[in-house]
Structure 1
Amino acid sequence: ANLDPAQVGLVLTYALQMSATLRLGIRTFTLLEVQMNSVERIMHYATNIDTEPPAVIEACRPGFGWMATPVQVELLSVSARHRPGMPRILKSISITIEPRKKIGVVGRTGSGKSTLMLALFRMLDIEEGQIIINGVDISTIGLGDLRSRLCIIPQEPTLFSGTIRQ
């Protein structure tokens, strides 16, 4: 086949453009695949994750002065694990923290310090036992009523720039 130089130039130009187009197509397909992982994860969270209990349960709201008085915290045979099938982190913990007493929760990594705090804030459901604060079983009240009256000093401090108002 006899090709004149103009035809050879045209074929080479189209070949270079085809290479760039294929590269762009592969990059776009890869980005689409990565984004579909995000969509799949969102669908999993939307359909398979249990929703939190309500913030307020009108029938079981604690009294106005529930936490205004000195606070007593009781853990009665509390057991918890992070997920079903995983080993228990808290195993039949029973303790009474008397009003106005200051305590420190210390232990090795993995001993259950953070799990205990998660259970107090009901971010983790306990398997057995009860947590009672001033005579109220915290599993019976709304999360908003509970969490709005608790605070924790975190292990790692967080610094913010600016003022609180900002």
Structure 2
Amino acid sequence: MTWVGWLVFQSPDTQAWQNDYLQGTGCEMYTETLSPSFTGMTFPQASELCFTKLKLLLLAIEIKGEGGADSKISINPRGAKIAANTQGFFIAQSADEVKRAWFYCKACHEDIKDETLIKKCKCKNLGQQQRSWGRDLGNVSQSFVYSQILKSSLL
């Protein structure tokens, strides 16, 4: 943000919508695997938790077909349930913010009020589930492609 933009952003005289707009100009699309705590939730439940608890905007999820061979990106799929190892598509300020969706553990983070405190926990159950899934780092480029597809479909 430019120095002038920062001054406008910080001004108490600036209308709320202008502050929101200026903050939104710094947002980009990111993908992250949803933590095991999201498994079984509906998309509306997951997006509400992301918004209210994690301060993230979850727009879409990857839905895998039979056997995981085919997948599609579904924007706001009302009836969809979150499966294990589901990829979420977020609008956020940084990739670090979106990591909260991966680190979120209901057992450890349910009572936390400050979203910045949601970090990798020491919960044995969450760590074991995440290790058993394995973070498929080879799909980083695939996630980027999904991001580009979603961006182009929104334009």
Q: Normalising by structure 1, what TM-score?
A: 0.25
**Higher RCO, 1 or 2 (CA under 8 Å, sep at least 6)?**
2
User: TM-score, normalising length from structure 2?
Assistant: 0.26
